[in-house]
Amino acid sequence: MDIEAINLTKKYGSFYALKDLNLKISGSKCVGYLGPNGAGKTTTLKLFTHLLNPTRGEAIINGYNVNKEIKKALRDVGTLIETPDFYPYLTPIETLEMLCRIRFADRCEIKNALEEVGMYEWRNKKIGKFSKGMKQRIAIAAALVTNPSVIILDEPTTGMDPKGMVEIRYVIKNLKKEKRLIFMSSHLLPEVTEVCDEVAMINCGTLLLYDSIHSIMEKFRGHAVEVAAMNEISVDRIMNIKGVKSVEKITPTKIRIDFEDGAEMQHKILQSLLKMGIKVVEYRSAGIALEKAYIELIGGGKK
Amino acid sequence: MNDLAQMIIISRYQFRNYLRAKRLLILFLITIIIAAIYLIVVSIYVNPEDMTVKNFSRNWASPVSFLVILASLFFGGDAIAGEYQNRTGYFLFPNPIKRYTIIWGKFLASFLASLIVVLSYWVIAIVDIFYYYSTIPNAVWYSLSLSILFLISLLSLTYLFSSLFKSGAIAITIVAIIYFFVFNIVDSISMLSGVEPWFSITYGASVITLVFDGNYIGDYTHKQVMQAGKHMNFTTYNPYIWEGIAIMVLYFVISAILASIIFRYKEMK
């Protein structure tokens, strides 16, 4: 199971949608692909799924060049690119049957795939009348139905209601247990933190970072906490706590504390607050490490 | 994964589209209406005894070109462009299947659907001819074969246009304009300029009715010049049978190659 981009480039006129991307992802894991709108995420995924032809470079899946050996390269790949539409005259069952037939795959997984995305009760209705969220669920079922070892997902929770988003994240997390390589683009940082093991960040068509979530957490750990209390908090008293750099009042009962360094310091500040008699009801890191990394790297990329 | 098996799968689902979208039914009804009008007109205004069987058959063959054009528009116009416009390409293309397999699978379905319509018309025509004359001239079978060749070549040309555009509606509109107006204008210009329109597919397809003249080898007038006023001539060309076949075959081959190559490299942006 591996996906590899070698100097992968897509150019429209003089504009580089993707420039010399070199990235190799191997093994059973879930990799989040992050970047702002227009960064080149969807372009990359389209190059890996033969929807675009590269200007130069190679998109390789399981050792096969997608552009030259499409049948071998995509044989064991499930995809969801943008929000696809389906043939309106087919039902979900017929749509997945068509896919299984094209791929010469076993059709016994159709029921499971539809159940997994919560669309089994709609199995015999024509897709033409479905909402965008329902079509997105069918698209995810289509990516899973042939039981592929490599899954490429382009913003899989787009167009879904909050309940649907939670369900799809649960499906993706379950997929990770079954030895698969999942390459998933998203601009939802909490989603990537929750679901993925590794992250690749891209901006302006250039790869900025590829690392594990754990490593990013270490590198970009935040040094600020948000505190909520039952009563009004006195900022002056908190400024006297050792290690506190600054205190910002968000609301009378909620503050943000910037401190010097480390998890130990974070713990000591909490102890001090409690000793002061502040009735703390919420104490959490302000901003996630991934968000910090994203803002630092993507912000830098824009300069 | 066998390309031929995948082609047949694509073909089956495309054909199901024609059935469920009622396109096949609509065109079939149009065909029946055309045939019914013709039957009524013949029974009221024409005495078959005053006509030779070949002339009677030729009248039946006349609307076939129109029917073939309609079938090409109905079944080929948006066959490729629709995948881009309706975003179904995002579902179909990222699969282990070659683009050539997709286009030829769709072409096969379009051809079969069109063939059903054209053959239905011919069946009614043949029954009517046999009813009045108790015989079927060979020219009918030649004309029928040529109309199938015209269908293949025109569908191929339609697929070329369909692979050029990203909107099914635009593809159908442009193809309709080209078939109903542009080729006729080209034929008219040829009459005035005296240049044989060997590059026009409708000129080549005129052998569908010309086959009823002469002895099926094109032994009819190839070029006729008519004086229209003092300084004006009208030149009418009739293609030889071989020439008509060559034009249609060339249209099929060139369009099929171009459509396949364009579709192979067409991107889903």
Distance CA A180, CA A277 (A): 50
Q: Which residues pair with B223 in a beta bridge?
A: B237
3-state helix, strand, coil in chain B (%, to 5): 75, 5, 25
Higher-pLDDT residue of B170 and B229 is B170
Q: Which residue of B has its CA nearest to A50?
A: B94
Residue A221 per-residue DSSP state: -
Phi, psi of B31 (to 5 degrees): -60, -45
On average, the pLDDT of chain B sits at: 90
Residues A208 and A260 in one domain: no
Residues A39 and A140 in one domain: yes
Q: Is A280 on the interface with B (CB under 8 A)?
A: no
Is residue B101 scored above 50 in pLDDT?
yes
Distance CA B213, CA A257 (A): 98
Read off the tokens for A234.
């006195």
Task: Give domain status of residue A301, yes or no.
Answer: no
The pLDDT score that the predictor gives to residue A289 is 66
> Quick check: B91 and A102 CB within 8 A?
no
Residues A111 and A72 in one domain: yes
Q: Which of A43, A87, A138 to mutate to test the interface with B (most CBs of B within 10 A)?
A: A87
Calculate mean pLDDT across residues A187-193: 81
Calculate what percentage of chain B has a pLDDT beyond 90: 58
The pLDDT score that the predictor gives to residue A98 is 94
Secondary structure of residue A126 in the 3-state scheme: coil
CATH number, residue A194: 3.40.50.300
Q: Which of B90, B92, B100, B101 to mutate to test the interface with A (most CBs of A within 10 A)?
A: B90
On average, the pLDDT of chain A sits at: 87
Residues A44 and A152 in one domain: yes
Is residue A72 scored above 50 in pLDDT?
yes
The pLDDT score that the predictor gives to residue A91 is 94
Chain A environment of B1 (Cβ under 8 Å) = 71, 75, 103-104
Residues A118 and A175 in one domain: yes
The pLDDT score that the predictor gives to residue A70 is 93
Distance CA B15, CA B24 (A): 9
Higher-pLDDT residue of A38 and B82 is B82
Query: Given B17, B87, B93, which is nearest A85 (Cβ)?
Result: B87
Distance CA B108, CA B8 (A): 8
Is residue B219 scored above 70 in pLDDT?
no
Residues A8 and A106 in one domain: yes
The pLDDT score that the predictor gives to residue A222 is 66
Instruction: Residue A243: give the domain boundaries.
Output: 223-286
Distance CA A203, CA B19 (A): 47
Instruction: Determine the length of chain B.
Output: 269
Q: Are strands A181-186 and A29-34 parallel, antiparallel or unpaired?
A: parallel
Residues A212 and A249 in one domain: no
Is residue A303 scored above 50 in pLDDT?
no
Q: How confident is the model at residue B230 (pLDDT cuts 50, 70, 90)?
A: confident
Is residue B15 scored above 90 in pLDDT?
yes
The pLDDT score that the predictor gives to residue B55 is 87
> Quick check: A74 and B93 CB within 8 A?
no
Distance CA A190, CA A215 (A): 16
Distance CA A21, CA A260 (A): 37
> Quick check: A89 and B95 CB within 8 A?
no
The pLDDT score that the predictor gives to residue B190 is 83
Contact assessment for residue A288 and residue A193, using Cβ atoms and an 8 Å cutoff? yes
Is residue A2 scored above 80 in pLDDT?
yes
Q: Which residues pair with A259 in a beta bridge?
A: A244
The pLDDT score that the predictor gives to residue A205 is 81
Lowest mean pLDDT among A191-195, A252-256, A276-280: A191-195
Query: Given B5, B6, B16, which is nearest A89 (Cβ)?
Result: B16
Is residue B33 scored above 90 in pLDDT?
yes
Over residues A130-183, the pLDDT tens digits come to 888 888 899 999 999 999 999 999 988 887 888 888 888 888 888 888 889 999
Distance CA A77, CA B32 (A): 47
> Quick check: B94 and A81 CB within 8 A?
yes
Calculate mean pLDDT across residues B229-246: 84
Over residues B40-56, the pLDDT tens digits come to 888 888 888 888 888 89
Residues A81 and A170 in one domain: yes
Domain ranges of chain B: 3-265
Residues A254 and A208 in one domain: no
Phi, psi of A295 (to 5 degrees): -65, -40
> Quick check: A75 and B5 CB within 8 A?
no
Amino acid at B199: F
Read off the tokens for A183.
């390459």
The alpha carbon dihedral of A109, A115, A119, A121 has a sign of positive
Whether the ipTM is more than 0.90: the answer is: no
Calculate mean pLDDT across residues A196-217: 86
Residues A214 and A229 in one domain: no
Residue A56 per-residue DSSP state: E
Read off the tokens for B242.
């071989």
Higher-pLDDT residue of A218 and A118 is A118
Over residues A91-126, the pLDDT tens digits come to 999 999 999 999 998 888 899 899 988 899 999 999
CATH number, residue A282: 3.30.70.1560
> How many domains does the structure of chain A reveal?
2
Cα angle B156, B8, B160 (rounded to 5 degrees) comes to 15
Q: How confident is the model at residue B218 (pLDDT cuts 50, 70, 90)?
A: low
Read off the tokens for B153.
């070549």
3-state helix, strand, coil in chain A (%, to 5): 40, 30, 30
Q: Is A159 on the interface with B (CB under 8 A)?
A: no
Alpha carbon A48 to its chain's center: 17
Q: Which of residues 82-141 of A touch B (CB under 8 A)?
A: 82-87, 89-90, 95, 98-99, 101-104, 139
Please enumerate residues of B whose Cβ is less than 8 A from a Cβ of A.
1, 5-6, 9-10, 13, 16-17, 20-21, 86-91, 93-98, 265, 267-269
Higher-pLDDT residue of A57 and B237 is A57
Residues A158 and A73 in one domain: yes
Distance CA A83, CA A154 (A): 8
Over residues A227-263, the pLDDT tens digits come to 999 988 888 888 888 888 888 888 888 888 888 777 7
Chain A environment of B91 (Cβ under 8 Å) = 84-86, 95, 99, 139, 142
The pLDDT score that the predictor gives to residue B155 is 95
Task: Give domain status of residue A246, yes or no.
Answer: yes
Q: How confident is the model at residue B32 (pLDDT cuts 50, 70, 90)?
A: very high
Residues A108 and A252 in one domain: no
Chain B environment of A145 (Cβ under 8 Å) = none
From first CA to last CA, the distance across chain A in angstroms is 36
> Quick check: B90 and A103 CB within 8 A?
no
Q: Which residues pair with A113 in a beta bridge?
A: none
Is residue B233 scored above 80 in pLDDT?
no
